[in-house]
Amino acid sequence: SAKQMSSQGGAKDLARVGETIFKSVDRFNYELFIMTYGAMVAQLLRDHEDVQEVNTRLEKMGHNIGLRLIEEFLARSNLNRCQEFKDTAEVIAKVGFKMFLGVAAGVTNWDQKKEEYSLILDENPLNDFVELPEGCQHLWFSNILCGVIRGCLEMLQWRVECKFVKDVLKGDETSEIRVKLIEIIPEEIPVGED
């Protein structure tokens, strides 16, 4: 229905945007990227005994990436900030994921207030070649993605909590990231203007 269409266009239009940008960017060695990420996670596991610490580090790294990646996203996609939080879901899933990971995600499991949703990754390129070893059952291998989403949304004045709830590496059917709106970050008032 017209009401369900976001201000940025429906999911199909966004999918087309994502596809177009993905095709237009320079290709680089995909395997190198996947293996570099894997090597980094492996190194973090060697550096930290606590797997939770690794999860936190990955999220933090992602956050730093997200703070900058959003500018690239805006520059390439020509999209504006979503007027409503619920519109961010399809933009992230169809344009963001497609542009940067090469595979679009799905959106489901909305809460009643439309302030919480799930991103479903049927395919996650970061998982290629990966098997979780013993003792790593609590590792969210692709946790960097949660940080990236959080960082990007923060720059758009949405404070969110972002976490994996399902991962194919743990034996789940799909990988699922839960995105929850905590608050809208107000623009800073300059000194002397309040």
Binding positions for another protein, rule: CB under 8 A: 7, 67-68, 70-72, 74-75, 80-81, 83, 155-157, 187-193
Q: Give the shortest CB-96-to-another protein separation in angstroms.
A: 13
- Would you say 36 or 157 has its CB closer to another protein? 157
- Would you say 12 or 68 has its CB closer to another protein? 68
Find out whether 104 and 119 touch, Cβ atoms under 8 Å.
Answer: no
Q: Give the shortest CB-156-to-another protein separation in angstroms.
A: 6
Q: Give the shortest CB-126-to-another protein separation in angstroms.
A: 21
Q: Which long-range contacts (CB under 8 A, 24 or more apart) does 120-128 make?
A: 120/174, 120/175, 120/176, 121/97, 121/174, 121/175, 121/176, 121/177, 122/174, 124/168, 124/175, 125/30, 125/34, 125/101, 126/34, 126/37, 126/38, 126/101, 127/168, 127/169, 127/175, 128/34
Q: Give the shortest CB-106-to-another protein separation in angstroms.
A: 24
- Would you say 57 or 178 has its CB closer to another protein? 57
- What span, in angstroms and rounded, lies between the C-alpha atoms of 88 and 154? 12
- What span, in angstroms and rounded, lies between the C-alpha atoms of 178 and 23? 28
Q: Give the shortest CB-64-to-another protein separation in angstroms.
A: 9
- Would you say 26 or 50 has its CB closer to another protein? 26
Q: Which amino acid is at 61?
A: M
- Would you say 134 or 188 has its CB closer to another protein? 188
The encoded tokens of residue 169 equal 């590496």
